[in-house]
Amino acid sequence: AQSVTQLGSHVSVSEGALVLLRCNYSSSVPPYLFWYVQYPNQGLQLLLKYTSAATLVKGINGFEAEFKKSETSFHLTKPSAHMSDAAEYFCAVIANTGNQFYFGTGTSLTVIP
Amino acid sequence: DAGVIQSPRHEVTEMGQEVTLRCKPISGHDYLFWYRQTMMRGLELLIYFNNNVPIDDSGMPEDRFSAKMPNASFSTLKIQPSEPRDSAVYFCASSLRGELFFGEGSRLTVL
């Protein structure tokens, strides 16, 4: 079975500061991992995905995430926060042989000017 | 491609009324998912289809909810009768080869 845990339902950072959103996964088989972003009144959009190639994955809008098997983590980072990054972020996992996505509970990112 | 298209975007109805939400997945995608999002429960998977066949409906809350996919380009989620606790944003998503694409959602308010 697969699951993800997002630590911290709310994260606040100052504009220009490092963004770190945490995600830990549990999977009995090699996983595919994803980060999605949701802006107000919109659907979820794919930020980046890990599918067993490079462990450091770069996504849109300057975000990246690193797959660490030893830590079962897939944390999302961005070196410098921008006001437009304020949104809800979801981590998700599927088995590499599967098709059912399991989402975390989401982390709301606030960027303080 | 236009992406996943959902209608209506907003629906306000009274308790006891039937509600039908519609979804057009991305052409060529072989999986279709219905999710519900609320503040209290977050994002919940209700049901998903593979090649128009329902695979797992264990997330459907109760018999008042039903979903169909009569063909590869159309799916419906029906609630009959609706209740205030059904108020939520309902998302349809489609996928191909492990990448999930969401629609803009249908915001349902049941008074």
CA distance A104 to chain B (A): 8
Q: Do residues B28 and B36 touch, judged by C-beta distance below 8 A?
A: no
Residues 8 through 27 of chain B touching chain A, CB cutoff 8 Å:
none
Identify the weakest region by mean pLDDT among A61-75, A91-105, B23-37.
A91-105
Name the residue type at position B108.
Answer: L
CA nearest A90 in B: which residue?
A: B43
Rounded Cα–Cα distance for residues A78 and A45 (Å): 17
Q: Do residues A17 and A81 touch, judged by C-beta distance below 8 A?
A: yes
pLDDT tens digits, residue range A71-106?
999 999 999 999 999 999 999 998 766 678 889 999
Rounded Cα–Cα distance for residues A8 and A63 (Å): 18
From start to end of chain A, where are the E strands?
2-7, 10-14, 19-27, 31-38, 44-50, 56-58, 64-68, 73-78, 87-95, 102-103, 107-112
pLDDT band at A27 (very low <50, low <70, confident <90, very high): confident
Reply yes or no on whether the pLDDT at B11 is more than 90.
yes
Tokens of B42: 């977050």
Could you give phi then psi for residue B63, rounded to 5 degrees? -65, -15
Q: Do residues B108 and B86 touch, judged by C-beta distance below 8 A?
A: yes
Taking an 8 Å cut-off on Cβ atoms, the answer to whether B98 and A45 are in contact is no
Dihedral sign, Cα of residue B63, residue B91, residue A5, residue A53: positive
Span between the terminal Cα atoms of chain B, in Å: 36
Taking an 8 Å cut-off on Cβ atoms, the answer to whether B105 and A90 are in contact is no
Rounded Cα–Cα distance for residues B109 and A113 (Å): 34
Enumerate the residues of chain B whose CB falls inside 8 A of the CB of residue A36.
100, 102
Name the residue type at position B109.
Answer: T
Rounded Cα–Cα distance for residues A91 and A41 (Å): 19
Tokens of A104: 């975390």
Reply yes or no on whether the pLDDT at B1 is more than 70.
no
Residues 15 through 54 of chain A touching chain B, CB cutoff 8 Å:
32, 34, 36, 41-46, 49, 51
CA distance B42 to chain A (A): 6
Residue B33 touches partner A, C-beta closer than 8 Å: yes
Backbone dihedral region for residue B27 (phi beyond 0: left; psi -120 to 50: alpha; all else: beta):
beta
Residue B57 touches partner A, C-beta closer than 8 Å: no
Residue A88 touches partner B, C-beta closer than 8 Å: no
pLDDT tens digits, residue range B49-104?
999 999 999 999 889 999 999 999 999 999 999 999 999 999 999 998 778 999 99
Which of B24, B34, B43, B53 best tests the A interface by mutation, with the highest count of A CBs <10 A? B43
Rounded Cα–Cα distance for residues B111 and B106 (Å): 16
